[in-house]
Amino acid sequence: MATTAMTPAASAYRAGLYEWLTTTDHKKIGILYLVNSLIFFFVGGLLALAVRTELAMPGIQFFKEVVYNQLFTMHASFMLFLFVIPILAGFGNYAVPLMIGAPDMAFPRINALSFWMLPLAGILMATGFLTNGGAAAAGWTSYSPLAEKAYSGMGTDLWIVAVILIGTSSILGAINFLVTIFKMRAPGMTMFRMPIMVWTMLVTSVLVLLATPVLASALIMLFIDRNYGGHFFDPATGGNAILWQNVFWFYSHPAVYIMVLPAMGIVSEVLPVFSRKPLFGYKAFVFATAGIGALGFSVWAHHMFTTGSVYLPFFSLMTFLIAIPTGVKMFNWIATLFRGQLTFSTPLIFALGFVSMFLIGGINGAFSAVVPVDFAIHDTYWVVAHLHYVLFGGSVFGVFAGVYYWFPKMTGRMLNEGLGKVQFVLMFVGVNLTFFPMHQLGLVGMPRRIADYSSAAGWNDLNLLATVGSFIIGASMLPFLWNVFISLSSGKPAGDDPWEGNTLEWATSSPPPPYNFDRLPEIRSERPVFDLRHRPRPESADLQLAAEASAAPESAGPAGHH
């Protein structure tokens, strides 16, 4: 008895657009998350190109400082709040119920609500561009007093409301993931048989649940400051600007793990499949993930070293400690690849991009944790280099690994491998051309968030190089879009399990039916589909056992399996 018979439910799908607008199916909601997030990724990317265009040469060429401030603020806000966080939640939405053998999320209608808040919030945030003062321009960190009434207009109010909406969406999503993971696992799917992707979503959801409400309260206090004469954060009226930084980073540091842990989960699914080996050190990886989550709450003040009001040794030490679980993961990934039978398909290539780029982002991050070094490089382009190596070199490569890995499952068709490799090469070259020079720019003192710099500063060549790189990144999206466009209609049919995967989503059809599974394989390890493929006994004996099982369901334990 290796599979379990189920009664297929009646088709739950209605036709066309109406179905997509009203769906409560986690797979369709997951795809909606992905599409919506990618739209904001492209818009945010265009804003980044505008920023890089202005910085290509010294002097103000295209955008005045006022506009420039809006450009980089909205670039970061779109990328963080409307792209990275939601797209990873989208992968979680699509994959988690399938991976644990559940028919859907625990609360399907709340799931739909979580999604539909996002486009609403995105539009709200973007309408800032239409107001008199322009869009939010205080940076995505919205430090006081820059974000107070005196220095910023209605765009900031719209930004605050939008981010609260996005936070609410995240919290509802996190509750949904946690209940789904704790309560909806298929029989046999114990916690330590769950795919790593599910573990990373679990830890991410705990981070969202505990950190995001603090951001909501901070934003509400900022809103009260701005609109009802509150005195929380403005020093001029008796408030405390450092208080804002504390509550903001109490959310936003855990948030950087919210932005990368699920991408680590994707990579940890991809590497074993394309190395033909189990993930090295499964339990160590799980504990490392939990460790990153726990430590993530004790390092927020490392963003505030130069304020002079935080206890430097503690926060520096805790920041270094995070390098340990992260190093464990890096070791696990490399050990998984070691002596594996690698097939260099697009998901693996993007996953390797993640591992190598994230390594750089981790090392320059640990470097920044040294207090005296941080005093020198704080608010310089070094920080911009670091965060982009983690978020673009890390998360975005993870996102594309996930897109290439699960596109066949979502659509039933393969993406084109050749175009995928062209995209990867352009992206990899572009990322390093753009962000590596920023290390040097930071070390020689170029501050972040400036629209102009002196041509005598010696920053011209590296800035031009970074701008060229950014346009290569932009160009890398063209083969991707073309690839999706042609593959949707004429891609190679995928079949149920094109990659010979390990986890349960590969045990159902592509795309899966509304209720996910006609049959579930027996779950005896964290690789149930691998087990199914490499069963020791011939198929006929299995059928015979299945017949016995249906005759006497209680007594038909799989006694012959071990």
Partner 1 sequence: MTSSTTAMTTEHGAAAHARGGISNPILGMLLFITSEVMFFAGLFAAYFNVRAAGPIWPPLEFADKLHIFPLVGPATVLLILSSFTCQVGVWAIRRNDRRGLTRAIAITVILGATFLVMQAIDYTSLYAEGLRLDAGPFGSTYYTLTGFHGAHVLGGVIMLSVVLYRSLSGQFSAAHHDMVEATSMYWHFVDVVWIALFSILYIL
Those residues whose C-beta lies under 8 Å from the C-beta of residue 74, and which sit 6 or more positions away, are: 44, 47, 125, 126, 128, 129, 135, 136
Contact status: 185 vs partner 1 (CB under 8 A) = yes
Using the rule CB under 8 A, give the single segment among 36-44, 122-130, 175-183, 316-324 that binds partner 1.
175-183
Contact status: 294 vs partner 1 (CB under 8 A) = no
Q: How far is the CB of 189 from partner 1 (least distance, A)?
A: 9
Q: Which of 46, 210, 294, 443 binds partner 1 (CB under 8 A)?
A: 210
Kind plus residue range of the DSSP H or E element containing 520: strand 519-521
**CB nearer partner 1, residue 70 or residue 170:** 170
Q: Which of 89, 221, 385, 419 binds partner 1 (CB under 8 A)?
A: 221
**CB nearer partner 1, residue 289 or residue 516:** 516
Q: Which of 72, 250, 280, 499 binds partner 1 (CB under 8 A)?
A: 250
Give 3-state DSSP helix, strand, coil % of the chain, rounded to 5.
Answer: 70, 0, 30
Q: How far is the CB of 329 from partner 1 (least distance, A)?
A: 26
Q: Which of 62, 151, 182, 344 binds partner 1 (CB under 8 A)?
A: 182
Q: How far is the CB of 178 from partner 1 (least distance, A)?
A: 6
Picking from 33, 47, 124, the residue whose alpha carbon sits closest to that of residue 84 is 33
Q: With helix as H, strand as E and coil as C, how does 70-119 read?
A: HHHHHHHHHHHHHHHHHHHHHHHHHHHHHHCCCCCCCCHHHHHHHHHHHH
Q: How far is the CB of 220 from partner 1 (least distance, A)?
A: 7
Q: How far is the CB of 180 from partner 1 (least distance, A)?
A: 9
| Whole-Å CA distances, 160 to 117, 119, 134, 248 | 14, 15, 14, 12
Q: How far is the CB of 38 from partner 1 (least distance, A)?
A: 28
Show the binding pattern over residues 1-40: x = contacts partner 1 (CB under 8 A), - = does not. x--xxxx---------------------------------
Contact status: 184 vs partner 1 (CB under 8 A) = yes
Q: How far is the CB of 252 from partner 1 (least distance, A)?
A: 13
**CB nearer partner 1, residue 245 or residue 487:** 245
In angstroms, rounded to a whole number, what is the distance separating the alpha carbons of residues 163 and 166? 5
Q: Are 175 and 245 in contact (CB under 8 A)?
A: no
CA dihedral 382→383→384→386, nearest 10 degrees, is 90
Q: How far is the CB of 517 from partner 1 (least distance, A)?
A: 7
* 103-122 positions binding partner 1, by CB under 8 A: 103, 106-107
**CB nearer partner 1, residue 103 or residue 412:** 103
- Strand, coil or helix: 7: coil
# binding residues, partner 1 (CB under 8 A): 64
**CB nearer partner 1, residue 207 or residue 396:** 207
**CB nearer partner 1, residue 246 or residue 336:** 246
Strands 3-5 and 519-521, by their bridges, are antiparallel
In angstroms, rounded to a whole number, what is the distance separating the alpha carbons of residues 548 and 562? 18
Question: Which sign, positive or negative, has the C-alpha torsion 536, 540, 544, 547?
Answer: positive
Token pair recorded at residue 499: 């990659």
Those residues whose C-beta lies under 8 Å from the C-beta of residue 421, and which sit 6 or more positions away, are: 346, 349
**CB nearer partner 1, residue 417 or residue 518:** 518
- Strand, coil or helix: 519: strand
Using the rule CB under 8 A, give the single segment among 167-175, 424-432, 447-455, 491-499 that binds partner 1.
167-175
Using the rule CB under 8 A, give the single segment among 124-132, 208-216, 286-294, 534-542 that binds partner 1.
208-216
* 444-503 positions binding partner 1, by CB under 8 A: none
In angstroms, rounded to a whole number, what is the distance separating the alpha carbons of residues 211 and 255? 8
**CB nearer partner 1, residue 162 or residue 451:** 162
Q: Are 414 and 389 in contact (CB under 8 A)?
A: no
Token pair recorded at residue 397: 């490569």
Those residues whose C-beta lies under 8 Å from the C-beta of residue 187, and which sit 6 or more positions away, are: 4, 523
Show the binding pattern over residues 73-102: x = contacts partner 1 (CB under 8 A), - = does not. ----------------------------xx
Q: For residue 456, give the amino acid letter.
A: A
Q: DSSP string covering 339-375, please?
A: T------HHHHHHHHHHHHHHHHHHHHHHHTSHHHHH
Using the rule CB under 8 A, give the single segment among 46-54, 134-142, 173-181, 460-468 that binds partner 1.
173-181
Those residues whose C-beta lies under 8 Å from the C-beta of residue 461, and which sit 6 or more positions away, are: none
Show the binding pattern over residues 122-151: x = contacts partner 1 (CB under 8 A), - = does not. ------------------------------
Q: How far is the CB of 210 from partner 1 (least distance, A)?
A: 5
Those residues whose C-beta lies under 8 Å from the C-beta of residue 406, and which sit 6 or more positions away, are: 91, 94, 95, 505
Q: How far is the CB of 422 from partner 1 (least distance, A)?
A: 43
Q: How far is the CB of 102 from partner 1 (least distance, A)?
A: 7
Q: Which residue has the tokens 């040294």?
A: 370
Chain contacts with partner 1 (rule: CB under 8 A)? 1, 4-7, 101-103, 106-107, 171, 174-176, 178-179, 182-188, 190, 209-218, 220-221, 224-225, 228-232, 237-240, 243, 246-247, 250, 517, 520, 522-524, 549, 553-554, 556-559, 561
